[in-house]
Structure 1
Amino acid sequence: MAAISWEEPYCAEGNNCFRIGTDSEGNAYIAVAGQEDQPLTDTREALRNLILEIKAGKADHLL
Protein backbone atom coordinates (compact mmCIF):
# COMPACT_ATOMS: atom_id res chain seq x y z
CA MET A 1 0.00 0.00 0.00
CA ALA A 2 1.33 3.41 -0.96
CA ALA A 3 1.74 6.14 1.65
CA ILE A 4 -1.32 8.36 2.05
CA SER A 5 -0.88 12.13 2.01
CA TRP A 6 -3.66 13.52 4.24
CA GLU A 7 -5.13 17.03 3.94
CA GLU A 8 -5.90 19.05 7.06
CA PRO A 9 -9.14 17.91 8.76
CA TYR A 10 -12.41 19.44 7.59
CA CYS A 11 -14.71 20.10 10.53
CA ALA A 12 -18.27 21.35 10.11
CA GLU A 13 -19.76 23.06 13.14
CA GLY A 14 -20.97 20.45 15.62
CA ASN A 15 -20.00 17.51 13.41
CA ASN A 16 -17.21 15.00 13.14
CA CYS A 17 -14.04 16.02 11.37
CA PHE A 18 -13.10 14.28 8.15
CA ARG A 19 -9.82 14.03 6.28
CA ILE A 20 -9.24 13.50 2.58
CA GLY A 21 -6.06 11.92 1.33
CA THR A 22 -4.44 10.66 -1.87
CA ASP A 23 -1.58 8.36 -2.73
CA SER A 24 0.90 8.16 -5.60
CA GLU A 25 -1.08 5.33 -7.23
CA GLY A 26 -4.13 7.50 -8.00
CA ASN A 27 -6.31 6.40 -5.09
CA ALA A 28 -8.33 8.74 -2.91
CA TYR A 29 -9.24 8.24 0.74
CA ILE A 30 -11.72 9.75 3.18
CA ALA A 31 -11.67 9.04 6.91
CA VAL A 32 -12.95 10.36 10.19
CA ALA A 33 -10.13 12.41 11.74
CA GLY A 34 -8.29 10.19 14.19
CA GLN A 35 -9.37 7.03 12.37
CA GLU A 36 -7.16 7.35 9.31
CA ASP A 37 -6.23 3.69 9.66
CA GLN A 38 -9.80 2.81 8.52
CA PRO A 39 -10.41 4.96 5.42
CA LEU A 40 -12.89 4.49 2.62
CA THR A 41 -10.88 4.02 -0.57
CA ASP A 42 -11.73 4.73 -4.21
CA THR A 43 -10.32 6.51 -7.24
CA ARG A 44 -9.69 10.25 -7.17
CA GLU A 45 -12.41 10.67 -9.80
CA ALA A 46 -14.96 8.83 -7.65
CA LEU A 47 -14.10 10.95 -4.60
CA ARG A 48 -14.29 14.11 -6.71
CA ASN A 49 -17.75 13.12 -7.95
CA LEU A 50 -18.90 12.32 -4.40
CA ILE A 51 -17.81 15.75 -3.17
CA LEU A 52 -19.51 17.50 -6.11
CA GLU A 53 -22.77 15.63 -5.46
CA ILE A 54 -22.65 16.49 -1.75
CA LYS A 55 -22.02 20.17 -2.57
CA ALA A 56 -24.97 20.05 -4.97
CA GLY A 57 -27.20 19.02 -2.05
CA LYS A 58 -27.85 15.49 -3.26
CA ALA A 59 -27.02 13.99 0.16
CA ASP A 60 -29.02 16.43 2.29
CA HIS A 61 -31.71 13.79 2.89
CA LEU A 62 -29.10 11.76 4.84
CA LEU A 63 -28.63 14.48 7.45
Structure 2
Amino acid sequence: MSAPSWQKSSYCAEGNNCLSLAATPDHTIRIRESEAPHAVVTTTRSQLVSLISAIKSGTLTRP
Protein backbone atom coordinates (compact mmCIF):
# COMPACT_ATOMS: atom_id res chain seq x y z
CA MET A 1 0.00 0.00 0.00
CA SER A 2 1.33 3.43 -0.88
CA ALA A 3 1.79 6.21 1.65
CA PRO A 4 -1.27 8.45 2.18
CA SER A 5 -1.38 11.77 0.36
CA TRP A 6 -1.80 14.23 3.23
CA GLN A 7 -3.62 17.53 2.71
CA LYS A 8 -3.14 20.38 5.16
CA SER A 9 -6.15 22.34 6.39
CA SER A 10 -6.78 25.57 4.49
CA TYR A 11 -7.19 27.29 7.88
CA CYS A 12 -3.60 26.46 8.81
CA ALA A 13 -1.09 29.26 8.79
CA GLU A 14 2.57 28.47 8.42
CA GLY A 15 3.76 26.72 11.52
CA ASN A 16 3.27 23.58 13.55
CA ASN A 17 -0.33 23.80 14.68
CA CYS A 18 -2.15 22.20 11.76
CA LEU A 19 -4.45 19.31 10.93
CA SER A 20 -3.86 17.13 7.91
CA LEU A 21 -6.28 14.68 6.29
CA ALA A 22 -5.72 11.78 3.93
CA ALA A 23 -8.31 9.63 2.14
CA THR A 24 -7.33 5.99 1.73
CA PRO A 25 -8.25 3.30 -0.80
CA ASP A 26 -10.31 1.47 1.86
CA HIS A 27 -12.58 4.58 2.07
CA THR A 28 -11.42 5.67 5.50
CA ILE A 29 -10.07 9.08 6.39
CA ARG A 30 -6.88 9.55 8.36
CA ILE A 31 -6.37 12.64 10.51
CA ARG A 32 -3.14 13.80 12.12
CA GLU A 33 -1.88 16.90 13.88
CA SER A 34 1.40 18.47 12.80
CA GLU A 35 2.92 18.40 16.28
CA ALA A 36 2.43 14.61 16.49
CA PRO A 37 2.42 13.32 12.89
CA HIS A 38 2.81 9.67 13.90
CA ALA A 39 -0.40 9.75 15.97
CA VAL A 40 -3.08 9.10 13.36
CA VAL A 41 -6.83 8.82 13.93
CA THR A 42 -8.80 6.76 11.42
CA THR A 43 -12.48 7.45 10.79
CA THR A 44 -15.14 7.23 8.11
CA ARG A 45 -16.48 10.11 6.05
CA SER A 46 -19.91 9.94 7.71
CA GLN A 47 -18.43 9.96 11.21
CA LEU A 48 -16.25 12.96 10.38
CA VAL A 49 -19.20 14.84 8.87
CA SER A 50 -21.22 14.14 12.03
CA LEU A 51 -18.41 15.42 14.26
CA ILE A 52 -17.93 18.61 12.24
CA SER A 53 -21.70 19.23 12.17
CA ALA A 54 -21.93 18.83 15.96
CA ILE A 55 -19.00 21.21 16.49
CA LYS A 56 -20.47 23.83 14.16
CA SER A 57 -23.96 23.63 15.67
CA GLY A 58 -22.71 23.77 19.25
CA THR A 59 -24.39 20.49 20.17
CA LEU A 60 -21.14 18.74 21.02
CA THR A 61 -20.81 18.51 24.79
CA ARG A 62 -17.82 17.72 26.93
CA PRO A 63 -17.84 14.40 28.81
Q: Same fold (TM over 0.5)?
A: yes
| Distance (Å, rounded) in 1 between the aligned partners of 2:56 and 2:3 | 28
Unaligned runs of 5+ in 2: none
In structure 2, the residue corresponding to 1:37 is in which secondary structure?
strand
TM-score scaled to structure 1, two decimals?
0.62
- Count of residue pairs brought into register by the alignment: 58
TM-score scaled to structure 2, two decimals?
0.62
Identity of aligned residues (%): 33
CA RMSD of aligned residues (A): 2.5
Q: Could you list the per-position Cα deviations for residues 6-62 of structure 1 after superposition, in whole angstroms to 9, with x for gaps in the alignment?
A: 2123437xxx31112211110111110253322111112111211222222234x66
Unaligned runs of 5+ in 1: none
Q: Find the counterpart in structure 2 of residue 58 from structure 1.
A: 59
